Structure 1
Amino acid sequence: MPLTPLRLRLLVASLLTVSFLGALDHTVVSTSLATVAGELGALEHMSWVVVGYTLASTVLLPVLGKLGDVVGPRSIFLVSLVAFLAASLACGFAPSMVWLIVGRVLQGMSSAGLQLMSQTIMAQVTTPRQRPRYMAIIGAAFPIAILIGPVLGGLITDFWGWQWIFWVNLPFGVAALVLAVFAIPHIAPGARRSFDGAGAVTFTIALVALVLAVTWLPDPGLRLGALVATTIAVLAFAGFVLAEMRAPEPIVPFRLLRNRTVGASIALSAIIGVGIFSITAYLPTYFQMAYRTSATVSGLVPIATVFGMLVSNLTTGHLASRTGRYRAFPILGTALGAMGLVVMAALPVGLPLWVPMLVMFVVGVGTGAFMSLIITVVQSAVPSSETGAITATTNLVRQIGATVTTAIIGGVVGFGVGALLPGGLDAASLTPQQVHGMDAATQLLVAGIYRDVFAPIFLALSAVYLVGFIAALMMPQGRLSDEHVSAAATEPLPA
């Protein structure tokens, strides 16, 4: 349903604002955690301020995606935005860590609705040809939030107090709500209105158990709990697959994977989570230890990576809208990502920091080339009645891939460094500050160990991008349409 240019601009402004607020709440809290935990007196539960948000937002992705198809994305978006603002207000007034964690869970749940419905609404009000440009603008919220979130969180905590990390959402969120009420048109839901309750329940149990297992596994005292959680996750995932195979309208439409465009796009989305989101969190540690930089300087490498993603995301979105072509971007992007990570594995320690910054910038450029674009492509390949479900599935595999791979990399680094360090050095308590105060020979030894541990990780992630390159090659040739699609869609039309 086409909108007037003014109404479309107001809609984009509203969706970009709420997408940025949701993405920012992933990153802005990190620099204030120590202050929050100290003031609320619950250091042992500090990690759940982040884990609760991430887990809630991931669990509800397929549920809210399908609800958007059943009742209409406008209703889910507006309810999610009101809930997000209420949860932000509650977090700021939290008198205890338990209250804050509950508020963060509610924030995460509503953030999932904002993220998904922003993409779903944009799919309903634009043509496939217009969509990449607008999706790239909305998709820019996440890399921008990564770039400025930690710094902004530190400034707000130091000058205003940690409560304002949550309260700052209110004026911007209310403004976005006013714009959304006016700009978002009524979008009729699909004709069939059944909901996959069994799939929603089994998926929630499976994912919660999986996250608990990954969280508990590194703690020797919680290994038994991790084993039990893993068993529950496996059984629940099996039940989820059975439920999806039997449901008339599953929350994760497996049958659509037979469409080559859908299958390739979902694989590419998973590659983003596994291949780049997972390693970014460990880059500062690697450069502090292997390149002996300060904590501040080590942050320049992930910043370069994310900046490359941002530039490429906006550029390819504009080019895809202008030409209607899209297949070349994931092919080129995955190739750049694979080559860049191979170079990272081969780089010797001791080089000037601008060298790995440049390499990771190239990896970011490659990833950004298809980061938002594949959402448009996969939406264009399914019936409009399945837009919410397929958008949710595409985002879901990205987040699960990032979560699981991040935990795996953490385990590999911990085990590998611990096994290679000489006697007298404890990997569990070794800090960059301690290493920087040691003699030159020991510093060089530790740097070599970290390089030897991270090199195979970079190579493994390069192989992941190579899988994405193959998936991109399997994507059919096509051209994005200039027409609004309301009926069933199949493979993109050949050029």
Structure 2
Amino acid sequence: MPLSTLRLRFLVASLLSVSFLGALDHTVVSTSLATIAGELGALELMSWVVVGYTLASTVLLPVLGKLGDVLGPRRVFLASLVIFLLASLACGFADDITWLVASRVIQGMSSAGLQLMSQTIVANVTTPRERPRYLAAIGAAFPIAILVGPVLGGAITDYWGWSWVFWINIPVGVVALVLAFIAVPRLERGQIPRHYDVAGACAFTLGLVFLVLGVTWTAERSLGVQAISALAVSVVALMAFFIIERRAPEPIVPLRFFANRTIAAGTALSAIIGVGLFSITAYLPTYFQMAYRISVTVSGLVPIATVLGMLVSNLLTGWLASRTGRYRIFPIIGTCMGAAGLFVMAWLPIGLPLWVPMIVMGFVGMGTGSFMSLIVAVVQSAAPANQTGSITATVNLVRQVGSTVATAIIGGTIGSGVAALLPAGMDAANLTPHAVHQAPPETQDVVAGIYGAVFSPIFIALAVTYAIGIIAAVLLPQGRLADEPQSTRPEVSETLSA
């Protein structure tokens, strides 16, 4: 459905605003957690303010993707935005941790709708050739939120109070809502399914919830039995989910689409982004604080360099792909850059000037950004128009699940690895950056060596992940993104011209 230039600009402004809100609300809370937990008297439940949001947004992805195909993306988008604003209001008024976590769960559910429908709406109003440019612009919301979120959250908490971390969404969201009513077109609804896949949705939700709980509890030695039990339930539920999806007439995750090489390879590349880079970003500051003996503030420069590289290449490759129609070369180059950069990180000597790892991780970020949003456009172009929401949800789902699971595994590896290598007399529980920096030089050398030894195999494992991504990128078929809208036929279509 073609739009006028002015209306398309309003649409992109609205979608970018809400995408930024959804991404920002995940990062802005991080610097406020300690204050929130202290004022609500619930330090032991602090992590659930983040986990509840992330888990809800991940679980709802395939369900909302299917609803977008059935009800139309405009309805799901507007409803998600209204619910997101109401949940933000409720978060700010929370006077106990239960209220806050419940509100964050609702906020996460609606955030999934905003993220998914933004990409789905773009797919419905643009041709495959135009799509990478607009998806790259909307995708820029995530790296920008990573850059400004923690600083903004800290400033708001210090000067206005933590409630405004959530209430700041209201004015921006209202403006985005007005723009959305004006600019988001009433797109054609999909065919109403005769049998909605309730069993598949329940099995998937159960499996994913217990998977996240299991990998989260694995890092806690006292919760070993609970972790094993949760993972066992997850395995059974996910096996049931795959059996249900193969038999369901209207599955929420269309497994038959993976017979299409573009969709299979593109989905694998999306998962590699979550596992290979998003999972390690949160731990980089700790690594540099301990191994390079720098302050907390300075340690944030390396993730910033990574995200800046991601932002620049995301916008550049989106523009180039729309201009030329070519797409295959970008994920090939990007995965090679990611693998090379992470292998270099594994072998960098401890104590080099900080600008060296900043350049290396910026290189990794550029490689990842070169196909981060582009691969969504490519996969959308290989699916029929009436399944755009479902296939977009699937691509985002594997990325978030990969990131969540890998983050938990890396966290557990760091915790157990450092504790196992510490010499007698040193307690891992008291091993803070401040304490290490105040210790004698020989102690600092020991701790730096331990962190180098623990992180080196992690970097190698992530480099191997990107190396596997090179194979997936090479398996993408040759071709160019088409200048015409994709087919609306129910079977998988290839809108890639030779």
Q: TM-score, normalised by structure 1?
A: 0.99
CA contact (8 A) 1:58 1:396 kept: yes
- Give the Cα separation in 2 of the matches to 1:492 and 1:467: 26
Match of 1:161 in 2: 161
Match of 2:260 in 1: 259
Mapping for residues 47-446 of structure 1, pairs under 5 Å: 47-194=47-194, 195-446=196-447
Task: For residue 494 of structure 1, report the CA deviation from its aligned partner.
Answer: 4.0
Task: For residue 221 of structure 1, report the CA deviation from its aligned partner.
Answer: 2.9
Task: For residue 492 of structure 1, report the CA deviation from its aligned partner.
Answer: 4.1
- Gap runs ≥5 in structure 2: none
- Give the Cα separation in 1 of the matches to 2:374 and 2:289: 34
Q: Is 2:493 the counterpart of 1:490?
A: yes
- Gap runs ≥5 in structure 1: none
Deviations 1:17-63 (A, max 9, x none): 00000000110001011111111111111110000000000000000
- Give the Cα separation in 1 of the matches to 2:42 and 2:496: 57
Deviations 1:299-325 (A, max 9, x none): 100010011000000000000010010
Task: For residue 428 of structure 1, report the CA deviation from its aligned partner.
Answer: 2.8
CA contact (8 A) 1:339 1:462 kept: yes
CA contact (8 A) 2:487 2:493 kept: no
Code of the aligned partner of 2:480: R
CA contact (8 A) 2:382 2:494 kept: yes
CA contact (8 A) 2:270 2:396 kept: yes
CA contact (8 A) 1:291 1:447 kept: yes
Match of 2:36 in 1: 36
Deviations 1:432-481 (A, max 9, x none): 11111111112112111111111111111000000001100010001011
CA contact (8 A) 1:311 1:365 kept: yes
- Give the Cα separation in 2 of the matches to 1:493 and 1:141: 28
Code of the aligned partner of 2:481: L
Code of the aligned partner of 1:439: P
CA contact (8 A) 2:339 2:463 kept: yes
- Give the Cα separation in 2 of the matches to 1:47 and 1:284: 19
Task: For residue 193 of structure 1, report the CA deviation from its aligned partner.
Answer: 2.3
- Give the Cα separation in 1 of the matches to 2:497 and 2:129: 14
| Aligned partner of residue 326 in structure 2, secondary structure | coil
CA contact (8 A) 1:260 1:491 kept: no
Tell me whether 426-435 or 333-342 shows the greater mean CA deviation: 426-435
Code of the aligned partner of 1:225: Q
- Give the Cα separation in 1 of the matches to 2:485 and 2:89: 39
- Give the Cα separation in 2 of the matches to 1:428 and 1:437: 16
- Give the Cα separation in 2 of the matches to 1:448 and 1:352: 16
Deviations 1:165-220 (A, max 9, x none): 11110111111111111111111122242421111000001111111112222223
- Give the Cα separation in 2 of the matches to 1:415 and 1:484: 52
CA contact (8 A) 1:140 1:310 kept: yes
Deviations 1:272-311 (A, max 9, x none): 0000000101100100011001000011000100110000
- Give the Cα separation in 1 of the matches to 2:122 and 2:439: 55
Code of the aligned partner of 2:273: I
Deviations 1:341-390 (A, max 9, x none): 01101100110000000000000000000000000000000101110011
- Give the Cα separation in 1 of the matches to 2:223 and 2:459: 29
Code of the aligned partner of 1:189: R
- Give the Cα separation in 2 of the matches to 1:245 and 1:483: 32
Code of the aligned partner of 2:213: L
- Give the Cα separation in 2 of the matches to 1:379 and 1:169: 30
Q: TM-score, normalised by structure 2?
A: 0.98
CA contact (8 A) 2:330 2:370 kept: yes
* Equivalent residues, number: 495
| Aligned partner of residue 57 in structure 1, secondary structure | helix
Q: Is 2:21 the counterpart of 1:26?
A: no
Code of the aligned partner of 2:122: M
- Give the Cα separation in 2 of the matches to 1:428 and 1:322: 54
Tell me whether 111-120 or 440-449 shows the greater mean CA deviation: 440-449
Deviations 1:99-134 (A, max 9, x none): 010100000000000000000000000011111010
- Give the Cα separation in 1 of the matches to 2:148 and 2:126: 30
- Give the Cα separation in 2 of the matches to 1:490 and 1:323: 21
